[in-house]
Chain A
Protein backbone atom coordinates (compact mmCIF):
# COMPACT_ATOMS: atom_id res chain seq x y z
CA UNK A 1 0.00 0.00 0.00
CA UNK A 2 2.86 2.29 0.89
CA UNK A 3 4.50 1.56 -2.46
CA UNK A 4 1.30 2.29 -4.35
CA UNK A 5 1.01 5.64 -2.61
CA UNK A 6 4.54 6.59 -3.60
CA UNK A 7 3.88 5.56 -7.17
CA UNK A 8 0.84 7.82 -7.32
CA UNK A 9 2.88 10.95 -6.74
CA UNK A 10 5.32 9.80 -9.43
CA UNK A 11 2.40 9.37 -11.84
CA UNK A 12 1.30 12.93 -11.05
CA UNK A 13 4.85 14.15 -11.67
CA UNK A 14 5.01 12.32 -15.01
CA UNK A 15 1.67 13.79 -16.05
CA UNK A 16 2.80 17.29 -15.03
CA UNK A 17 6.04 16.97 -17.01
CA UNK A 18 4.10 15.70 -20.02
CA UNK A 19 1.55 18.54 -19.96
CA UNK A 20 4.24 21.19 -19.43
CA UNK A 21 6.22 19.76 -22.34
CA UNK A 22 3.08 19.65 -24.51
CA UNK A 23 2.38 23.34 -23.83
CA UNK A 24 6.01 24.31 -24.41
CA UNK A 25 6.14 22.17 -27.56
CA UNK A 26 3.12 23.94 -29.08
CA UNK A 27 4.73 27.27 -28.18
CA UNK A 28 7.96 26.21 -29.92
CA UNK A 29 6.09 25.20 -33.07
CA UNK A 30 4.36 28.55 -33.53
CA UNK A 31 5.35 30.33 -36.75
CA UNK A 32 7.93 33.06 -36.58
CA UNK A 33 7.26 36.77 -36.89
CA UNK A 34 10.81 37.37 -38.02
CA UNK A 35 12.03 37.20 -41.63
CA UNK A 36 15.76 37.19 -40.86
CA UNK A 37 17.42 33.80 -40.95
CA UNK A 38 20.87 32.76 -39.86
CA UNK A 39 22.87 29.74 -40.91
CA UNK A 40 25.04 28.62 -38.00
CA UNK A 41 27.74 25.99 -37.79
CA UNK A 42 29.48 25.13 -34.52
CA UNK A 43 28.11 28.32 -32.99
CA UNK A 44 29.58 30.48 -35.80
CA UNK A 45 27.13 32.45 -37.93
CA UNK A 46 28.05 31.73 -41.56
CA UNK A 47 25.24 33.62 -43.30
CA UNK A 48 22.54 36.05 -42.26
CA UNK A 49 19.74 36.24 -44.81
CA UNK A 50 16.73 38.55 -44.98
CA UNK A 51 14.12 36.33 -46.65
CA UNK A 52 12.09 39.33 -47.84
CA UNK A 53 14.90 40.89 -49.83
CA UNK A 54 17.15 37.92 -50.61
CA UNK A 55 17.58 36.74 -54.18
CA UNK A 56 17.04 33.06 -54.87
CA UNK A 57 20.31 31.34 -54.07
CA UNK A 58 21.86 27.98 -53.42
CA UNK A 59 24.31 27.78 -50.52
CA UNK A 60 26.65 24.89 -49.94
CA UNK A 61 28.08 24.47 -46.49
CA UNK A 62 30.84 22.00 -45.71
CA UNK A 63 31.64 20.21 -42.50
CA UNK A 64 34.35 20.47 -41.39
CA UNK A 65 34.89 23.86 -43.00
CA UNK A 66 38.71 23.82 -42.97
CA UNK A 67 39.66 20.61 -44.75
CA UNK A 68 37.58 20.01 -47.84
CA UNK A 69 39.01 16.57 -48.65
CA UNK A 70 36.71 14.48 -46.47
CA UNK A 71 34.20 17.25 -45.88
CA UNK A 72 30.47 16.54 -46.07
CA UNK A 73 28.14 19.10 -47.55
CA UNK A 74 24.66 20.45 -46.94
CA UNK A 75 22.92 22.23 -49.79
CA UNK A 76 20.62 25.03 -48.64
CA UNK A 77 18.09 26.64 -50.98
CA UNK A 78 16.68 30.15 -50.57
CA UNK A 79 13.74 30.64 -52.91
CA UNK A 80 10.55 32.72 -52.90
CA UNK A 81 11.20 33.97 -49.38
CA UNK A 82 11.62 30.49 -47.95
CA UNK A 83 14.63 28.46 -46.86
CA UNK A 84 15.23 24.73 -46.68
CA UNK A 85 17.94 22.07 -46.96
CA UNK A 86 17.67 20.22 -50.26
CA UNK A 87 20.58 17.81 -49.94
CA UNK A 88 22.75 16.53 -47.12
CA UNK A 89 25.74 14.23 -46.99
CA UNK A 90 24.97 12.64 -43.67
CA UNK A 91 23.58 9.32 -42.46
CA UNK A 92 20.07 10.43 -41.52
CA UNK A 93 18.93 13.29 -43.83
CA UNK A 94 16.64 14.57 -41.11
CA UNK A 95 17.39 18.18 -42.01
CA UNK A 96 16.12 17.53 -45.54
CA UNK A 97 12.97 15.83 -44.28
CA UNK A 98 12.27 18.77 -41.96
CA UNK A 99 11.36 20.80 -45.02
CA UNK A 100 11.01 24.58 -45.02
CA UNK A 101 11.86 26.66 -42.00
CA UNK A 102 8.58 27.87 -40.48
CA UNK A 103 8.73 27.70 -36.73
CA UNK A 104 10.11 30.70 -34.90
CA UNK A 105 11.93 28.77 -32.23
CA UNK A 106 12.56 25.34 -33.69
CA UNK A 107 15.64 25.48 -35.93
CA UNK A 108 16.39 23.13 -38.80
CA UNK A 109 19.36 21.13 -37.54
CA UNK A 110 21.82 18.70 -39.03
CA UNK A 111 23.50 17.16 -36.01
CA UNK A 112 26.12 15.13 -37.93
CA UNK A 113 27.32 18.25 -39.76
CA UNK A 114 26.82 20.63 -36.81
CA UNK A 115 24.61 22.86 -38.96
CA UNK A 116 21.62 24.89 -37.83
CA UNK A 117 19.25 27.24 -39.65
CA UNK A 118 17.00 29.46 -37.55
CA UNK A 119 15.05 32.68 -37.45
CA UNK A 120 16.68 35.50 -35.56
CA UNK A 121 15.31 38.78 -34.23
Chain B
Protein backbone atom coordinates (compact mmCIF):
# COMPACT_ATOMS: atom_id res chain seq x y z
CA UNK B 1 0.00 0.00 0.00
CA UNK B 2 2.69 2.47 1.15
CA UNK B 3 4.97 1.33 -1.66
CA UNK B 4 2.27 1.94 -4.26
CA UNK B 5 1.56 5.50 -3.09
CA UNK B 6 5.31 6.18 -3.04
CA UNK B 7 5.58 4.97 -6.67
CA UNK B 8 2.64 7.18 -7.65
CA UNK B 9 4.29 10.18 -5.98
CA UNK B 10 7.57 9.47 -7.79
CA UNK B 11 5.66 9.18 -11.06
CA UNK B 12 3.91 12.49 -10.43
CA UNK B 13 7.23 14.19 -9.65
CA UNK B 14 8.79 12.72 -12.79
CA UNK B 15 5.90 13.88 -15.00
CA UNK B 16 6.11 17.37 -13.52
CA UNK B 17 9.88 17.48 -13.96
CA UNK B 18 9.45 16.42 -17.59
CA UNK B 19 6.86 19.19 -18.06
CA UNK B 20 9.28 21.72 -16.52
CA UNK B 21 12.13 20.62 -18.80
CA UNK B 22 9.83 20.86 -21.84
CA UNK B 23 8.82 24.36 -20.79
CA UNK B 24 12.45 25.51 -20.40
CA UNK B 25 13.51 23.93 -23.73
CA UNK B 26 10.57 25.64 -25.40
CA UNK B 27 11.58 28.95 -23.79
CA UNK B 28 15.05 28.66 -25.30
CA UNK B 29 14.29 27.22 -28.73
CA UNK B 30 10.60 27.43 -29.64
CA UNK B 31 8.49 30.42 -30.68
CA UNK B 32 7.17 32.30 -27.64
CA UNK B 33 3.58 31.35 -28.52
CA UNK B 34 4.44 27.66 -27.96
CA UNK B 35 5.86 28.46 -24.51
CA UNK B 36 2.71 30.40 -23.66
CA UNK B 37 0.42 27.50 -24.65
CA UNK B 38 2.58 24.97 -22.76
CA UNK B 39 2.56 27.22 -19.67
CA UNK B 40 -1.23 27.56 -19.71
CA UNK B 41 -1.65 23.80 -20.20
CA UNK B 42 0.74 23.11 -17.32
CA UNK B 43 -1.14 25.50 -15.04
CA UNK B 44 -4.41 23.66 -15.74
CA UNK B 45 -2.90 20.16 -15.45
CA UNK B 46 -0.67 20.52 -12.38
CA UNK B 47 -1.62 21.93 -9.00
CA UNK B 48 0.03 25.25 -8.08
CA UNK B 49 2.11 25.41 -11.27
CA UNK B 50 4.30 28.31 -10.11
CA UNK B 51 6.80 27.36 -12.81
CA UNK B 52 4.77 29.59 -15.13
CA UNK B 53 5.93 32.62 -13.09
CA UNK B 54 9.55 31.43 -13.08
CA UNK B 55 9.43 30.92 -16.86
CA UNK B 56 7.94 34.42 -17.22
CA UNK B 57 10.84 35.89 -15.23
CA UNK B 58 13.38 33.82 -17.22
CA UNK B 59 11.72 35.02 -20.42
CA UNK B 60 12.43 38.64 -19.47
CA UNK B 61 15.93 37.85 -18.22
CA UNK B 62 16.73 36.28 -21.60
CA UNK B 63 14.96 38.49 -24.08
CA UNK B 64 13.55 41.75 -22.64
CA UNK B 65 15.36 44.90 -23.77
CA UNK B 66 15.62 46.25 -20.23
CA UNK B 67 18.68 48.30 -21.20
CA UNK B 68 16.66 50.78 -23.24
CA UNK B 69 15.53 52.63 -20.14
CA UNK B 70 11.95 51.52 -19.67
CA UNK B 71 11.64 48.26 -17.78
CA UNK B 72 9.79 45.87 -20.07
CA UNK B 73 8.64 42.94 -18.02
CA UNK B 74 5.94 41.47 -20.17
CA UNK B 75 6.94 37.89 -19.34
CA UNK B 76 7.06 38.36 -15.58
CA UNK B 77 3.76 40.23 -15.42
CA UNK B 78 2.05 37.79 -17.81
CA UNK B 79 3.36 34.81 -15.81
CA UNK B 80 1.98 36.21 -12.57
CA UNK B 81 -1.34 37.20 -14.15
CA UNK B 82 -1.76 33.79 -15.77
CA UNK B 83 -0.89 31.94 -12.56
CA UNK B 84 -3.32 34.04 -10.52
CA UNK B 85 -6.17 33.89 -13.00
CA UNK B 86 -5.84 30.16 -13.74
CA UNK B 87 -5.60 29.26 -10.03
CA UNK B 88 -8.66 31.46 -9.41
CA UNK B 89 -10.52 29.89 -12.35
CA UNK B 90 -9.71 26.41 -11.02
CA UNK B 91 -11.53 27.19 -7.77
CA UNK B 92 -14.68 27.78 -9.84
CA UNK B 93 -14.30 24.86 -12.25
CA UNK B 94 -15.51 21.33 -11.75
CA UNK B 95 -12.88 18.62 -11.57
CA UNK B 96 -10.33 20.65 -9.58
Partners in one complex: no
Which A residues are closer than 8 A to B by beta carbons?
none
Which B residues are closer than 8 A to A by beta carbons?
none
